[in-house]
Amino acid sequence: MTPRAGKRPVYLPGRRELSARQREEVCVGAILTQNTNWGNVESALVRLNEARALGLKELRALPLRRLESLIRTSGYFRQKAKKLKLFARHALGRGSLKEWLSGDLRERREELLGLWGVGPETADSVLLYAGERPVFVVDAYTLRIGGRLGWFGQTDYDRAQRFLQGGLPRSVPLYNEFHALLVAHAKRHCRTTPVCAGCPVRRLCRHGSKK
């Protein structure tokens, strides 16, 4: 017989379902991380947590100026404070994130994109990480790697998303893992100025093939 841990591949361990609070924190992180490194976001999240203001209801109730000061280290703090307030107000008006995000996928995505401050990457991050919906999150790393490999253009979000979703099994944990691997690869090799020495896909890439 073939020994298996379950029907899920062992390299994609199942996770306990997200709590309502965790879903909210994921959304906050998705907005704060826009065009900023995660380290700067983390310190902002810590400050929000210390102020007991990490939940959507708390954020909605928080004075704008106070919110701005708490998230200052994440950069673009005035814009992001406004984005958080708008997101919190909208989401709270639609019930729990779990229920809201489980509706028709295209409708929810369009609804998110209609919010000021929510673009494609943020919308898809909310859907995948907070809603556990099967949407591939394309980011700057994804575009850089795929662009260099010739998978799609360096700036075409929708093409990149279709390419990846078309080439991978439609699976939330797999999208999650694959994206994490892209991030790791971008940091190790596929940097702004590529480090091709030792790159595992060097021969598949323009940068690698021409020495």
Partner DNA sequence: CACCAGGAATGTA
Partner DNA sequence: TACATTCATGGT
Q: Tell me which residues touch DNA (CB under 7 A).
A: 33-40, 43, 72-73, 75-80, 115-123, 125, 137, 139-141, 155, 179, 183, 186-187, 191-192
User: Which one, 27 or 54, has the nearer CB to DNA?
Assistant: 27
60 or 121, CB closer to DNA? 121
Which one, 57 or 89, has the nearer CB to DNA?
89
Question: Quick one: residue 66, left, alpha or beta (phi over 0 = left, psi -120 to 50 = alpha)?
Answer: alpha
Cβ atoms of residues 156 and 114 within 8 Å = no
CB of 60 to DNA, least distance (A): 19
Nearer to DNA, 24 or 139 (CB): 139
Minimum CB separation of residue 2 from DNA in Å reads 35
Give the 3-state secondary structure of residue 37: coil
Residues 6+ apart with CB under 8 A from 125: 26, 30, 137
DSSP 59-81: HHHS-HHHHHHHTGGGS-HHHHH
Least distance between DNA and beta carbon 174 (Å) = 15
